C-alpha cells in the first residue's frame, strides 16, 4: 500500500468506544476511549479539554488528533470526555459548568475509569482550562504525570503547585511563545515553586496550537514522555485510514 502523508483530517485505525463516566456527585459524563487496534496500550492519556464557555470540549482539535493518531502510531490509549455541562457530537454531559470547582468530580471519575479498566501508565493531558483542572484536581496516586498545553494558571492557585511539588510527580508545561495568557518567561517564574515542572517554550506557537507543525510538536512531546522511544512520530501511514469531514459542512 502506498504511504500517505498524515494530515489534519486523517483518522488512523483504533478500537474506539463510547463511554460514560459517573461522578461522585451523581452526574453522567459522556466520552470516548480510543485503544490500539490489535494490541494492548503501553500508556494512557486522560485528556482535559479547554474552557467550555470559550468553545472547548472533548473534540478540541489537539485532543481529537491525539485520539486519531496515537493509538496507531505509538500504542497510546486516549480517553476524552466532556466535563459537566459540555456538549460535542458525542453528546452532552450532565450538570453545569462550575469554573473548575465541581469539575474536580469529573477529573476523579475519569481517573477512576482508567484505573478500573487497567489502562496502563496513566498521564493527564490538559489544555488551557484543562491544565487548571489537572493542577487543581489531578495530583492523584493513579496518575504518573501530567502534560500541560498552554497553561493560563487562571483558576489554579499556588497551593495547587505546592501539592504537585510535594508529590514529585513529573509535569511538563508546553508554553507557546505568543500565548494570549501566559508566555514562557512568566511561566518559568510562576512554576518555579514546583521544581518537578519542566517548562518548555515553543517558538512561534499560539494558545490554540493552530497548524499541523504545532500539532506534531505537541504530540511528539507528549509521546516522548508517556511512551519513550515512540517519538518522533511517523508523518506517513501505509495502512487503511479514514478522512474526517466536519458534519457542520454536510
Where in the chain are the domains?
4-243
Tens digit of each residue's pLDDT (9 = 90 or more) over 43-73: 999 999 999 999 999 999 999 999 999 999 9
- Helix (H), strand (E) at residue 51: none
Q: What is the per-residue DSSP string for 66-122?
A: HHHHHHHHH-EEEEEEPPTT-EETTEE-SS---TTSTHHHHHHHHHHHHHHTT--SE
The three-state secondary structure class of 16 is strand
**Phi, psi (rounded to 5 degrees) for 247:** -60, -25
Residue 111: which pLDDT band, with cuts at 50, 70 and 90?
very high
pTM reported for the whole predicted model: 0.97
Residue 81 confidence (pLDDT) above 90: yes
Residue 98 confidence (pLDDT) above 90: yes
Residue 146 confidence (pLDDT) above 90: yes
Structural domain 4-243, CATH architecture: 3-Layer(aba) Sandwich (3.40)
CB 6 within 8 A of CB 12: yes
> Would you state the cell numbers that stand for residue 76, as one nine-digit string?
497510546
Residue reference for cell 496516586:
141
> Would you state the cell numbers that stand for residue 132, as one nine-digit string?
487548571
What is the pLDDT, as a whole number, of residue 249?
54
Percent of the chain exceeding pLDDT 90 equals 96
Amino acid at each position: 500500500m502506498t504511504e500517505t502523508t498524515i494530515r489534519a483530517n486523517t483518522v488512523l485505525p483504533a478500537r474506539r468506544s463510547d463511554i460514560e463516566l459517573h461522578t461522585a456527585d451523581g452526574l453522567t459524563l459522556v466520552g470516548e476511549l480510543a485503544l490500539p487496534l490489535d494490541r494492548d496500550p503501553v500508556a494512557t492519556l486522560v485528556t482535559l479539554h479547554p474552557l467550555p464557555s470559550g468553545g472547548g470540549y472533548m473534540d478540541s482539535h489537539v485532543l481529537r488528533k491525539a485520539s486519531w493518531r496515537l493509538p496507531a502510531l505509538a500504542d497510546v490509549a486516549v480517553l476524552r470526555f466532556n466535563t459537566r455541562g459540555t456538549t460535542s457530537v458525542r453528546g452532552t454531559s450532565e450538570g453545569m459548568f462550575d469554573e473548575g470547582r465541581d469539575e474536580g468530580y469529573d477529573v476523579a471519575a475519569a481517573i477512576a475509569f482508567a484505573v478500573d479498566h487497567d489502562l496502563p501508565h496513566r498521564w493527564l493531558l490538559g489544555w488551557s482550562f484543562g491544565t487548571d483542572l489537572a493542577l487543581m484536581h489531578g495530583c492523584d496516586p493513579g496518575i504518573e504525570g501530567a502534560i500541560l498545553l498552554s497553561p493560563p494558571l487562571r483558576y489554579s492557585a499556588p497551593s495547587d503547585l505546592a501539592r504537585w511539588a510535594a508529590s514529585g510527580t513529573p509535569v511538563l508545561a508546553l508554553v507557546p511563545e505568543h500565548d494570549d495568557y501566559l508566555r514562557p518567561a512568566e511561566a518559568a517564574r510562576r512554576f518555579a515553586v514546583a521544581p518537578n515542572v519542566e517548562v518548555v517554550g515553543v517558538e512561534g506557537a499560539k494558545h490554540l496550537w493552530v497548524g499541523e507543525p504545532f500539532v506534531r510538536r505537541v504530540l511528539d512531546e507528549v509521546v516522548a514522555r508517556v511512551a519513550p522511544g515512540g517519538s518522533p512520530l511517523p508523518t506517513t501511514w501505509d495502512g487503511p485510514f479514514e478522512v474526517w469531514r466536519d458534519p457542520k459542512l454536510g
